[in-house]
């Protein structure tokens, strides 16, 4: 029996996305082109864009997996403060995790920068939601840190968690750009720089 047009469209969209994922895994995200995806998926180039709008839209679907994996690596980290011996290290670990993802390639970093505070029309809603969820998890951790007197060093209380997350995002972006532009090539050195900035910014006077 012939499948309905909608079913065929869903199957084609999934095949295009899988082709893009396979090419990215094999050759790197920055080398993936619409032509290569179309050839791999066995469709016309126009079909790629008809389903995903543009290459950024398609790339955002590939990146969802990495962002979701980053968040799911330790679900308890979303808000926990108990058993956290060093809250500064906890924050920096979260920041370095995202920096690792967004510096995977120039295309990933660009897409991340393009979507800070802006929802591009063709980007996957889940991509934006995943970024927002990571921000929310960090804000929730800061809130609990702020309200836990015996969790030391003490977090500043003159700023809201949401305000502090905005500052941490700025540090992450700066760190990612330094690393991707080869101004800092050692991740341990980058982590040390982040720690100095984070301590000066987050800790109570």
> Both tokens of residue 85?
């011996």
Q: Ramachandran region of residue 154, left (φ > 0), alpha (ψ -120 to 50) or beta?
A: beta
**Mean pLDDT of the chain, nearest integer:** 87
Percent of the chain with pLDDT over 90: 56
> Both tokens of residue 63?
């990146």
Q: Domains for the chain: give ranges and CATH numbers.
A: 1-52 (1.10.10.60), 54-202 (1.10.357)
Categorize the per-residue pLDDT at 152 as very low, low, confident or very high, splitting at 50, 70 and 90.
Answer: very high
User: What's the rounded mean pLDDT across residues 33-46?
Assistant: 94
Please report the pLDDT score of residue 125 as a whole number.
84
Please report the pLDDT score of residue 59 as a whole number.
86
Per-residue model confidence as pLDDT tens digits over 86-101: 999 999 999 999 999 8
Neighbours of 123 (CB within 10 A): 25
> Both tokens of residue 118?
């802006």
Say if CB 15 and CB 43 are below 8 A apart.
yes
């Amino acid at each position: 029996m012939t499948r309905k047009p909608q079913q065929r469209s869903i199957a084609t969209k999934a095949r295009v996305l899988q082709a893009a994922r396979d090419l990215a895994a094999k050759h790197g995200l920055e080398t993936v082109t619409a032509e290569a995806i179309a050839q791999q998926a066995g469709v016309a180039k126009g079909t790629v864009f008809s389903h995903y709008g543009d290459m950024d839209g398609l790339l955002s679907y590939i990146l969802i997996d990495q962002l979701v994996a980053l968040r799911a690596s330790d679900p308890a980290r979303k808000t926990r403060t108990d058993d956290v011996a060093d809250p500064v290290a906890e924050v920096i670990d979260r920041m370095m995790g995202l920096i690792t993802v967004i510096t995977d390639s120039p295309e990933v970093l660009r897409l991340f920068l393009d979507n800070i505070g802006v929802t591009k029309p063709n980007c996957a809603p889940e991509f934006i939601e995943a970024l927002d969820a990571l921000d929310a998890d960090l804000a929730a951790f800061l809130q609990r840190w702020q309200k836990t007197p015996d969790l030391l060093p003490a977090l500043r209380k003159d700023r809201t968690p949401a305000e502090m997350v905005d500052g941490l995002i700025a540090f992450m972006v700066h760190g990612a750009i330094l690393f991707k532009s080869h101004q800092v090539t050692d991740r341990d050195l980058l982590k040390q720089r982040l720690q100095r900035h984070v301590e000066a910014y987050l800790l109570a006077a």
